[in-house]
Amino acid sequence: MNSFTTPLLKWFQHSKRDLPWRQTTNPYLIWVSEIILQQTRVDQGISYYEKFIKTFPTLAHLANASFNDVLLVWQGLGYYRRAQNLHNSAKLIFNTLPFRFPSTYVELKKLDGIGDYTAAAIASIAFQEPVAAIDGNVMRVWSRVFCLSHPMNSPQLKKKCSEIMEPLLGEAHPGDINQALMELGATVCKPGDPMCDQCPLKQLCKAHQSGNQRSYPLKAPKPKTRTRFFLFLVNLHLRDQTPCIWIEQRGAGDIWQGLYQFPMIETNAPPDSESLAHIEHLTSMGLTEKPDIQKAVYVKHKLTHQTLHCWFINTNLEKPLTESCISLPMSETHRFAFPRPILNYLHTYLKPEIESDCTFC
């Protein structure tokens, strides 16, 4: 199988991108990079990785940090369950293992947020365990090289890729082979526009030889997108002559877990002023004026599998919407982690209003 590994590793040695997590075999640093890259492009992930490592340079720093501090560093990166999993696993490793980073594929899979690919990537790169790290890039490469007739991300395709890679990983450094294949898929064997003239495997690629490289891999069925309607109640008020805003923390089991937001009501359909006047939560909060949805700020926010329709509406609530709400001074909002739509609203509408409105001077 040297016909694959020799040209692949030679190409990787000379063509790989200079990424910060490739300058170490420290399993903690590799783990952080792999979790960040689970749902993030490399060009976007670099700055977050560097900020995260600067703030939490060791597993001990991460384990002893508060979850809010972790969220503040993660803020804007999305898929916040990843931050929760990192924090939970760091505490588990630090407090119970004790401080011995799991060094095998099997051990790594026991940690929160680590599946087959991430466990294999860490085990092969940090500990040279010969296990295949199969992500979308790797599946795309092998689908084209062998014209595999399985849909992208299907269990059948992953199994076939694993079978192809098993004999390769025993020939050289498994971490280098895994990284080389991922790099090849990310930079050369691209989804829509493969640069076959630069590929070290072009002479071995059946799809290239037949001119069908754009036909592989076979497309997977698109997942259904969920549509949701959020009404955020914005109440800028004075407390001891200090401009404040009501916020609440989101619970577990949904998007933005652990982050903060304005008090929010989710509706089954787009809200209108008439329907808002009859929402029980609002009528019990001492509203002196009916909320006017026509004056709300509307934002459409897309996630991978959800489309959020968000309305930010100014209210004159006399008391917090729920017992969990806190009155936060606007000068302290930087201490709390917010989802991107909330953070954008704070900086676009509320802070300029405070700076320009003499009522809050």
Q: Is 280 a catalytic residue?
A: no
Closest CA to 101 of 129, 122, 74, 84: 122
Contact 168, 5 (CB under 8 A): yes
Strands, DSSP E only, in 95-216? Answer: none
| Active-site residue, from 34, 129, 183, 248 | 34
Show the 3-state SS of 56-91: CCCHHHHHCCCHHHHHHHHCCCCCCHHHHHHHHHHH
Reported as a pLDDT band with limits 50, 70 and 90, residue 304 is: confident
Contact 321, 248 (CB under 8 A): yes
Check pLDDT > 70 for residue 325: yes
Instruction: From the options 3.30.428.10, 3.40.50.10800, 2.40.50.140, 3.90.79.10, give the CATH code of 226-360.
Output: 3.90.79.10
Q: How far is CA 54 from the centre of its chain?
A: 19
Residue found by looking up tokens 């492009």 in the block: 41
> What is the CATH topology of the domain spanning 2-215?
Endonuclease III; domain 1 (1.10.340)
Residues whose CB falls within 8 Å of the CB of residue 216, separated by 6 or more in sequence, listed in order: 140, 143, 144, 147, 148, 207
Q: Name the helix (H) or strand (E) containing 345.
A: helix 340-345
End-to-end CA distance of the chain: 73
Kindly report, residue by residue over 115-151, the tens digit of the pLDDT. 999 999 999 999 999 999 999 999 999 999 999 999 9
Kindly report, residue by residue over 95-110, the tens digit of the pLDDT. 887 668 999 999 999 9
Three-point CA angle 140, 20, 337, nearest 5°: 90
Cα separation, 245 vs 239, in Å, equals 9
Residue ranges of domains in the chain: 2-215, 226-360
Reported as a pLDDT band with limits 50, 70 and 90, residue 358 is: very low
pTM, whole model, 2 decimals?
A: 0.83
Contact 133, 120 (CB under 8 A): yes
